[in-house]
Each structure stands twice: as structure tokens, then as C-alpha cells.
Amino acid sequence: MKALTYIRKGRFEIIEKDKPKVVEATDAVVRVTLSSICTSDLHIKHGSVPRAVPGITVGHEMVGVVESVGEAVSKAKPGDRVVVNVETFCGECFFCQHGWVNNCTDPNGGWALGCRIDGGQTEFVRVPFADNGLTKIPDNVSDEQALFVGDILATGYWAAKISEIGEDDTVLIIGAGPTGLCTLQCVRLYDPKRIIVCEKDAVRQEFVKSHYSDVVVVSPEVCLEKTLRLSEHGGADRVIEVAGAEDTFQLAWQAARSNAIVTVVALYDKPQVLPLPNMYGKNLTFKTGGVDGCDCEEILKLISEGKIDTTPLITHTFPFSQIEEAYDLFENRRDNVIKVAITPH
């Protein structure tokens, strides 16, 4: 089978590989029916993911059909349509037992697929701990609807959940890239009083305005002033920072009211300054980190009920044979691209 492979910094190549087999009793092999390109794939390409192992098949956002399972797998069975979770987790260690699956202590735990072991931009993928890493897709949910459940939508869902959003809250979301847009959908589930989205890119601003007319869209230059003006108590009650740009961390805490929760999902290129003297007395609560991707079943239920729909994010679809063109388009953000889906043929 053909697999898009990380060769070295700056180089991905399609190479021929053997179809994967079940190795551990807890493994499953999944035939990929739809996959996507994530910004993290670009990070691997650019050499900014030191853990990424040259030679691995990239891709960690995918759905498929179970081909075979190991003898210890009890939930997934051949023929099941499934979402593949970006995170591999054992389900048994201290952190997994608390739902903090991002910190699973198993040697294979964490972001392994498409980073340390072969991922999904190919025909078949081996998924370790399949009972945790695969979630059955309801019959009324399409592959397109389920595509982001295991990665960026899981992230948006988790970010909204830990932000403890109430109905009287003004929520500021900084960044309307793919993960920011997923976060926006999940914040809406809590029905807060007001949602403000800060985004500098005109195409993304327009996307938010056209799909969510009740959301206030602001550019970074006016975000602070507008948020303070629109909020009843001197700032946003909840701030979710998904942008990870040069000044967005500073914006996040400055736009928050006293005693607000500031959730930092963004991944930064550089260390950020926490100016404690300036924020003294503001009594902020910061929540930070990487997604605990263990709510896929709940997310699929919400999609099935029509409460979440991320299909508008799929602006382009390419067959696997043109995946290099798809990367080129996504990486250079041409043609108003938000997300690209990759079909097998």
C-alpha cells in the first residue's frame, strides 16, 4: 500500500509499505476511508516535532472501517465504522483513570499515531489500545461529519468543557483557525450570553460571520477595547486562547475580567511571559495543556443529534493520489482553505 512518509526535515514522500497487522492483542487494524491534514502534520514536516520518527507514515485525523482486531479487543469488531483517536492511552494508569489521558504513562501513550508510529495518510493503520482509540460512528453520521472527532473537535470540546462556561458569560475565543472553529461550536453548546471571536485573517473572519451570525467578530487590534466595552464586568468571563501567535497570550489575560478563567489551548513557538506584578489582584485561573481526548462517544452523539456540524470546515477534498497537492494548498493557505479531506481514491 502507498503511505505518505516522513523522510527527514522538510520532506514527505509517498512510499510503498506492507499492510499493517495486529501485533499486540489490544490492537486493531483499520481501513482508512477518510483522513485529513492537520497543522501538526506541517509541524512534523518542518522538523518542529522532535519526537517524530523518520520513516513513519504521517496523519492522525481519520475515520475508517475495522479490518481486524486482536483477541483482547472487546468493543470494536471487524466491519465497524470508527473514528480513530489522535491519542493512544492504556485506560488503566493513574492519569487515564482520572480522565487525563493526554498524560497516559504507557510507553505508547500520548500522540503516537502519525508521529512515533505509522499513522493514517495511507490505506490501513494499526491502532494500539483499540478499545480506547476507536469509537463507533452512529449510522446517521457520515465520514465527513465524524472526520475531526478524534483530534481538533476533541480539542474544542475539551477546551469548552474545562472552561466552565455559564449562561451569563461573555466568552472570548482567540483564533478562528480549524481548532478555534471547533472550539466555537463546542462553546455554543453551553449557550453563553455572548461569544466574541478574535481573528486577524479576513477569510476566517468572513467564515465565522457567515456561519454564526450571533457571534461578534473582532480583529486583534480592537479586541481588547471591544471586549472590555461589551462585557458587563470589565472583561470576558471566560477566555479561550487557541491562536498561539506572538501577542495572543498577553491579549488573553488582559481581556479577562477579575476572577475569570483563561484556558490556553494554543501551542506556542516561544516561551511566554506571565507578568505576575501586572496581574496581581486580578485573581485569574489559568488552565493549560493538550487535549484529553476521551469524549469521542459524547461528541459523536452530539453530531448525531445535529448539535455539532463541522462539515463546513471541509473546504477541499482530494484523492490520496493528489495528497502532495493537498498539502501544498493547505500549507500555503490558498483558495480560502480551512480543512482538506483525503479520500482513498
Is 266 a binder of Zn ion (CB under 5 A)?
Answer: no
Considering only the stretches 85-93, 174-182, 214-222, 234-242, report the one whose residues sit in contact with Zn ion under the rule CB under 5 A: 85-93
Is 85 a binder of Zn ion (CB under 5 A)?
Answer: no
Is 294 a binder of Zn ion (CB under 5 A)?
Answer: no
Measured from the CB of residue 233, what is the shortest distance to Zn ion in angstroms? 35
Is 292 a binder of Zn ion (CB under 5 A)?
Answer: no
- Determine which residue in the list 27, 151, 169, 237 makes contact with Zn ion, applying CB under 5 A: 151
Measured from the CB of residue 18, what is the shortest distance to Zn ion in angstroms? 25
Is 243 a binder of Zn ion (CB under 5 A)?
Answer: no
Choose between 92 and 325: whose C-beta lies nearer to Zn ion: 92
Considering only the stretches 94-102, 205-213, 252-260, 272-280, report the one whose residues sit in contact with Zn ion under the rule CB under 5 A: 94-102
Considering only the stretches 17-25, 33-41, 270-278, 308-316, report the one whose residues sit in contact with Zn ion under the rule CB under 5 A: 33-41
- Determine which residue in the list 34, 84, 90, 255 makes contact with Zn ion, applying CB under 5 A: 90
Considering only the stretches 67-75, 138-146, 150-158, 321-329, report the one whose residues sit in contact with Zn ion under the rule CB under 5 A: 150-158
Is 104 a binder of Zn ion (CB under 5 A)?
Answer: yes
Is 340 a binder of Zn ion (CB under 5 A)?
Answer: no
Q: CA-to-CA distance for 164 and 168, rounded, in angstroms? A: 12
CA dihedral sign, ordered 106, 110, 111, 113: positive
Q: Which residues are CB-contacts of 260 (< 8 A; sequence separation ≥ 6)?
A: 235, 236, 237, 238, 239, 284, 285
- Determine which residue in the list 5, 26, 35, 40 makes contact with Zn ion, applying CB under 5 A: 40
Measured from the CB of residue 203, what is the shortest distance to Zn ion in angstroms? 21
Q: CA-to-CA distance for 149 and 283, rounded, in angstroms? A: 34
- Residue 49, class by beta-carbon neighbours within 10 Å (0-12 exposed, 13-18 middle, 19+ buried)? middle
Measured from the CB of residue 113, what is the shortest distance to Zn ion in angstroms? 10
Is 62 a binder of Zn ion (CB under 5 A)?
Answer: no
Is 112 a binder of Zn ion (CB under 5 A)?
Answer: no
Residues in 167-226 that interact with Zn ion by CB under 5 A: none
- Determine which residue in the list 42, 93, 117, 216 makes contact with Zn ion, applying CB under 5 A: 93
Is 96 a binder of Zn ion (CB under 5 A)?
Answer: yes
Measured from the CB of residue 93, what is the shortest distance to Zn ion in angstroms? 3
- Using CB under 5 A as the binding criterion, the count of chain residues that bind Zn ion stands at 8
- Determine which residue in the list 38, 58, 215, 260 makes contact with Zn ion, applying CB under 5 A: 38
Measured from the CB of residue 30, what is the shortest distance to Zn ion in angstroms? 17
| Residues that bind Zn ion in the complex, under the rule CB under 5 A | 38, 40, 89-90, 93, 96, 104, 151
